[in-house]
Structure 1
Amino acid sequence: MKKKLLVAIPLLSAVIAVAGYQAIFTLPDQPQLSSVSDDGVVLSPQCYVNPRAKVLDKQGSINLLVWNIYKQNRSQWDVELTRLTDEAQLALLQEASMTSELKQWIKREGWFANQVDAFKAFDATAGVLNLTQDTPNLACAFVELEPWLRLPKSALYATYPLSDGDELAVVNIHAVNFTYGTEEYLRQLSRLVDELLEHQGPIIVAGDFNSWSESRLAVMKQALDKLGLHEVTYQEDHRTQFITGLPLDHVFYRGLRLKTAEAPFSDASDHNPILVSFELLPTN
């Protein structure tokens, strides 16, 4: 009887854990995208397309916010997000939870949002989120399953028209974190690099790369070097660091002129935001 009880307890615990996991988290059958605006929420299977999108830049300038907002778990996230996006044309957020509060904020501030629905927790989708004043030409969802947690990390590939007639390709990434080795990390980055290799114009790649080890940094830079990207350097650099002292968040670019970049402190998330200002290169 005692032996049967010893066997039954871990089995029961496993059943409860699986049932609890399934009750909390819902994973879509395929990558999908939510588009949020004044008109409500529209779901797209993997990609959103609008060939009539308006230009992204403002008189040749692109002000960018990159920020992991920690599922809006800290107070005053909305006040801080409003302040940080005040002069932005593009905001790339990671760990965004599409709660009713975030939907209301998007509508109130007049943004158009694309979010990768990586998974749903307590009826709110979670994943990377792009904010712009108008729609992109194209936005596509990518996911990579965390091998330990079995929850997807997400990335969003999008293109935006520019006032000089060119097109900007943007990747917003929340990279795979809990792995032994770098196989899944490299696979996620390589799929996005393959998409960007087809693009001839300017590029921005940014987000939370979870680059907490030297081996991850090496894989990240090796993958992105194929695109001829430059990494942004900061006048004020308070990017969130792992215990190894390595920063987790990065911005890379090509075909743009870097004007200013800073990573100030913020207590509205467990990551500090990144603010970057670009301008278009002069045309010949």
Structure 2
Amino acid sequence: MPKQIYAVRFIAGQPNQYIFPPVKSSSKFNYTWSLMKPLHNSTLLKVMVWNIFKQQRTNWLSVLNSIRQETPLVLLQEAQTTPEMIKFATSHYLAVDQVPAIIFTQHPSGVMTLSTGYPVYCCPLSEREPLLRLAKSALITIYPIYCKQYLMVINIHAINFSLGLDVYSKQLGPIGDHILQHHGPVIMAGDFNTWSKKRILALYRFTDNMMLKEVVFTKDLRKRVFGRPLDFIFYRNMHVTEASVLVTKASDHNPLLVTFDLFSSIKHVKITLLKKNI
């Protein structure tokens, strides 16, 4: 493969597909309702977000198996394309998209999004660590969902080792461009490496500008560095009905589990259409 940014799509029984970033365009997204299977045929959508630590610890598969039947959308960071991972993912999810970040190992690792529906849009992103020169990846996918809407999902593993905020903010730039063009519900989640006050403030400035809300965990057992959480879930045009952190030794991060009610996004669409008709 050419040395450029791409995503690899794994689908059971099919050859791997390589997806490159779409040609840049100033036009807004304009989708015709897809005949593909929606991500979820309900107003309730459960999501898991987890830095899986390259599957270096035992029991990671048990954790994924415990949530797979009720979780249509799984966002993994540091997911390695081992045979065991690919077998699990393609056996239980229709589409599995990974953006390789570290590719000099036998099995590349990076962000990986597992979904029970096929995305109608896929944009891989990558930014290189300025000090270690290792890449961090992100993936933007869009899915048809309940009531002929489209959900934008952003899976990100943020830059870790950098002096200042220039590269950290640069990684968020194209993500912001996508969010501004999308008028439906949005989920942005992952490992943001917010181990400093400046990083957290930069992230909050970004999410405020994007009009994204933060999922709050009553019992907050997220992975922390210097007392600050690293993993976040942000959202727009939805309502959180349940949020929890699963304590496990299967990774150096604890998985985040959130259930969204998509009905609020449906009401938003109806109100918008009503205003246009007035």
User: TM-score scaled by structure 1?
Assistant: 0.86
CA contact (8 A) 2:38 2:118 kept: no
CA contact (8 A) 1:236 1:264 kept: no
Report the equivalent of 2:21. Answer: 46
Alignment of 1:66-215 (within 5 A): 66-215=49-198
Q: What is the Cα deviation at residue 52 of structure 1?
A: 4.1
Distance 1:278 1:28 in 2: 38
CA contact (8 A) 2:241 2:261 kept: yes
Distance 2:94 2:40 in 1: 15
State whether structure 2 residue 26 is matched by structure 1 residue 56: no
CA contact (8 A) 1:58 1:89 kept: no
Distance 1:28 1:146 in 2: 20
Report the equivalent of 1:274. Answer: 256
Structure 1 segments unaligned to the other structure (5+ residues): 1-26
Distance 1:258 1:164 in 2: 18
Q: What is the Cα deviation at residue 256 of structure 1?
A: 0.5
> Residue deviations 1:26-57, cap 9 Å, x none?
x962110100111242222235x995432112
Structure with the greater alpha carbon radius of gyration: 1
CA contact (8 A) 1:169 1:203 kept: yes
Q: What is the Cα deviation at residue 111 of structure 1?
A: 4.2
Report the equivalent of 2:9. Answer: 35
One-letter code of the match for 2:38?
A: V
CA contact (8 A) 2:11 2:96 kept: yes
User: How many residues matched?
Assistant: 256
State whether structure 2 residue 208 is matched by structure 1 residue 234: no
Report the equivalent of 2:233. Answer: 251
Distance 1:208 1:110 in 2: 22
Distance 1:230 1:37 in 2: 32
Distance 2:68 2:210 in 1: 28
Distance 1:40 1:279 in 2: 35
SS of corresponding position for 2:96: strand
> Residue deviations 1:203-227, cap 9 Å, x none?
1110000000100001111112111
User: TM-score scaled by structure 2?
Assistant: 0.87
> Residue deviations 1:122-175, cap 9 Å, x none?
331211000011211111100000011111100001111111111111110000
Structure 2 segments unaligned to the other structure (5+ residues): 23-30, 271-278
CA-based RMSD of the aligned residues comes to 1.8
Q: 1:264 aligns with which of 246, 257, 274?
A: 246
> Residue deviations 1:172-193, cap 9 Å, x none?
0000000111110000012211
Distance 1:141 1:209 in 2: 17
